[in-house]
Structure 1
Amino acid sequence: MTEQTILEKLKEGARRFQSEVHAGNAAEYERAATTPQQPHTLVIACADSRVDVESITSSGPGEVFITRNIGNMVPAYGEMLGGVSAVIEYAVSALKVKHIVICGHSDCGAMKALLSPDSTAAMPTVRSWLTNGQAALKVADALDTPDDKPGQRLRNLTEQNVLMQINHLKTHPSVAGALARNEISISGWVYDIGSGGVRVAEDPSRAFIPVSASTV
């Protein structure tokens, strides 16, 4: 695609949103536009273009507050104060979210980069950012066994990274305070792009349990 073709595709998508999605849910969008946002959940997800948080959670306007970055990382408080830290503080202290999700996913480029550090040699900013996943890499390495199936190391790292970022999240003062007051809960998710499946670890459990597509 040329640059102009891409722009036209995006514009056509905006037209379709206006005429189909927005028009079909006009009342819901009107409420969102005229009342302050009150999201119940903060989702910290990967920036991967294949991860669509609203679709995965079937959420409408105003339900989830979202921040995305490479590898769904949460720097421990004080180490890299910036956008992620500001979003967390605002979501917990101002918006009073009741739950926080850290959402990893299958085939994650950030996790692959942690496993193959030479791949980021020409991207010093990315390499610096990925230091937030180094502890998870050490844990995943410790879990390696000779009998692991192909892809198991990447799966282990993806899960351990989500769990490690939960640990980092708890170092943020706003989160620590809300947890102490029992005002907030946390979970770790791993989304499988190919199957649509989601595995959830409900803090403090370290076990990722599949969310069933049907309930009894």
Structure 2
Amino acid sequence: MQPLIDEARTFPARAAAHGVNLGPHTTSATPQAMFIACSDAHVVPALITGSRPGDLYELRTYGGRISPYTEHEPTSEAQTIEHAVDVLCVTDIIVCGHSRCGVIDALHPDSEAAPFHLAAGHWHTLMQFDALSAYPCVQARLSDRTLRLHAWFYDIDAGTTARYDPRASTFLPL
């Protein structure tokens, strides 16, 4: 725990050294995008995208799961999505899956199933993308073309990210 405490104590100095302004937020500062990903510690959205504080509005869940929309009992994930779409008015949402995900490993625990892990990870990412697409606030913004959705897949071992191309029906390098 001590290394984390030490880093937290020196964060303002390190941020200043990299030109990151930690001063008061301005009303014009809004996230560029929402990034929905797994809570796995190997997946670091700001590092993957090169974002700075305030650039991304993040939602991190086990397996990057997006709960189905329910009108009468919204989950905290649903409320986070609605806030990003309706209040922050993000223009892009990225749903990002990743390799070596515990959710996928639970589906294919046999090491001989390794060739299926990548395909299963891609499928899982697209299922979350579809769940997000069913949210009424998302559908409304998609209809008026003020919101774009993206499905990405991060390979932990290679450090590379692919994007889903619906025309090719596959994930391709960014």
Q: After TM superposition, is the score higher than 0.5?
A: yes
Deviation at 1:27, TM superposition (A): 5.7
Which of the numbers 133, 156, 172 marks the counterpart of 1:193?
A: 156
Are the aligned partners of 1:187 and 1:202 in contact in 2 as well (CA < 8 Å)?
no
CA distance in 1, matches of 2:167, 2:86: 22
Q: How does 1:74-93 map to 2 (within 5 A)?
A: 74-78=66-70, 81-93=74-86
Aligned to 1:43: 35
Which of the numbers 107, 111, 114 marks the counterpart of 2:104?
A: 111
Aligned to 2:117: 154
More helix by share: 1
Identity of aligned residues (%): 29
More strand by share: 2
Structure 1 unpaired stretches of 5+: 1-5, 117-148, 212-216
Query: Helix, strand or coil for the counterpart of 1:199?
Result: strand
Deviation at 1:26, TM superposition (A): 5.1
Are the aligned partners of 1:74 and 1:168 in contact in 2 as well (CA < 8 Å)?
yes
Are the aligned partners of 1:185 and 1:203 in contact in 2 as well (CA < 8 Å)?
no
2:3 is aligned with 1:12: no
TM-score normalized by the length of structure 1 = 0.73
Structure 2 unpaired stretches of 5+: none
Deviation at 1:13, TM superposition (A): 1.1
Number of corresponding residues? 170
Query: Helix, strand or coil for the counterpart of 1:84?
Result: helix
Query: Helix, strand or coil for the counterpart of 2:40?
Result: coil
Deviation at 1:166, TM superposition (A): 1.0
Deviation at 1:51, TM superposition (A): 0.7
Query: Helix, strand or coil for the counterpart of 2:93?
Result: strand
CA distance in 2, matches of 1:82, 1:27: 33
Query: Helix, strand or coil for the counterpart of 1:66?
Result: strand
Are the aligned partners of 1:163 and 1:206 in contact in 2 as well (CA < 8 Å)?
no
Provide the alpha-carbon RMSD of the alignment: 2.0
Amino acid of the residue matched to residue 51 of structure 1?
A: V
Query: Helix, strand or coil for the counterpart of 1:208?
Result: strand
The structure with the largest alpha-carbon Rg is 1
